[in-house]
């Protein structure tokens, strides 16, 4: 679609830094700004975009819970049913948990066929040097005219697949990076999109918000007691994503974790090994300390981010309790979240 054509989008607001103002009573920023005030930051030259608005909640994304992901996905479903001819949707969201929320929407609104562009800011909109206006403008451009058919994060002029993105910088404008695969594109004078993207299409969207949020994310560190895993299972968690060292390695001698992992799996808990490295993939077949987890039945996250793996396992456990089906679904690429390589550990 040409940017000279008219476009029609919906902006769904959920709060975040972009909608925050300074509250003198508490001495900190919190989300209060209406979506109409945020739209005032857009330049008048974007008047050929018709914007419909929905205010879902005013939430700092550090307070976001899995049920909020479901509410966002349900709102997108309702918007699609009411306005099926929209060109795309923009979701305003806080940056802290944007990778989780946008990944969840990726799984819950598959085959949407149009851009669902999450964006926000690192600096509140009320400050003159805020990055919010640019990010909002870029997200609106992509939603209205971009040849993209998936959920993404638009930030600092870059377009990232949600299930491949991570927030890597706490304060800089370039908060997000795509982990290993390149970004989907960028926004400059033109909207530039790469071939690794999923293009617009007219398939019937598959909305499915079922989740089981009893999934724990555990980071391995020297001195971690194996009993920790047993306590997690006792708390009622049905899945554990363990961020191992390097390619997914865990201690196999002192404070060995393989025995506790086996006990968890034997009790019906799914254990998935990930890596705490920002870039690279989990490969449990490389070292003895990786095979110790593989040999007792742990699954591999391969090149999924931990954020995507957590959300995906919650989504899977919302659909099945069968261990073979869980493994099959974890190995299935649904929304570009994983690249399976033949010969890797399974």
Active site residues: 17, 95-96, 167
- Reading the block at residue 50, the tokens are 């018709």
Collapsed DSSP state (helix, strand, coil) of residue 189: coil
Alpha-carbon distances, residue 324 vs 122, 146, 268, 336 (angstroms): 42, 39, 12, 22
Residue among 253, 256, 150, 250 nearest 203 (CA): 150
Q: What are phi and psi of 8, to 5 degrees?
A: -135, 120
CA distance 198 to 251: 40
Determine contact, residues 201/149, Cβ cutoff 8 Å. yes
Q: What is the DSSP letter of 149?
A: -
Strand partners, 59: 15
Residue among 266, 269, 199 nearest 233 (CA): 269
Sequence length of the chain is: 346
Residue 96: Cβ within 10 Å count: 19
Structural element, H or E, at residue 230: helix 227-234
Collapsed DSSP state (helix, strand, coil) of residue 216: strand
Determine contact, residues 142/191, Cβ cutoff 8 Å. yes
Alpha-carbon distances, residue 247 vs 217, 257, 288 (angstroms): 17, 16, 11
Within the chain, residue ranges assigned H as helices are: 35-39, 66-82, 98-108, 132-145, 227-234, 258-266, 288-294, 306-317, 323-330
């Amino acid at each position: 679609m040409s940017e000279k054509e008219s476009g029609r989008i919906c902006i769904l607001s959920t709060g975040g830094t972009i909608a925050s103002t300074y509250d003198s009573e508490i001495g900190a920023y919190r989300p209060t700004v209406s979506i109409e005030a945020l739209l005032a930051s857009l330049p008048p030259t974007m008047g050929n975009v018709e914007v419909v608005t929905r205010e879902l909640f005013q939430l700092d994304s550090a307070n976001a819970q899995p049920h909020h992901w479901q509410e966002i996905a349900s709102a997108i479903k309702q918007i699609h049913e009411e306005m099926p001819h929209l060109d795309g949707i923009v979701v305003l969201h806080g940056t802290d948990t944007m990778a989780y929320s946008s990944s969840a929407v990726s799984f819950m609104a598959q085959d949407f066929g149009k851009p669902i562009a999450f964006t926000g800011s690192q600096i509140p909109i009320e400050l003159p040097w805020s990055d919010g206006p640019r990010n909002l403008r870029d997200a609106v451009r992509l939603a209205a005219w971009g040849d993209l058919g998936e959920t993404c994060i638009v930030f600092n002029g870059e377009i990232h697949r949600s299930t491949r993105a991570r927030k890597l910088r706490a304060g800089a404008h370039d908060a997000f990076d795509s982990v290993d695969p390149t970004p989907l594109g960028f926004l400059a004078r033109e909207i530039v999109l790469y071939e690794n993207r999923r293009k617009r299409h007219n398939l019937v969207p598959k909305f499915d918000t079922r989740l089981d949020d009893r999934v724990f994310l555990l980071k391995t560190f020297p001195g971690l007691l194996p009993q920790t895993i047993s306590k997690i299972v006792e708390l009622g968690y049905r899945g554990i994503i363990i961020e191992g060292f390097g390619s997914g390695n865990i201690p196999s001698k002192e404070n060995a974790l393989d025995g506790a992992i086996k006990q968890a799996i034997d009790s019906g808990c799914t254990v998935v090994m990930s890596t705490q490295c920002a870039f690279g993939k989990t490969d449990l077949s490389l070292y003895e300390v990786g095979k110790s987890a593989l040999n007792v039945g742990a699954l591999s996250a391969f090149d999924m981010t931990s954020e995507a793996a957590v959300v995906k396992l919650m989504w899977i456990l919302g659909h099945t309790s069968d261990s073979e089906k869980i493994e099959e679904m974890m190995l299935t690429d649904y929304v570009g979240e994983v690249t399976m390589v033949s010969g890797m550990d399974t």
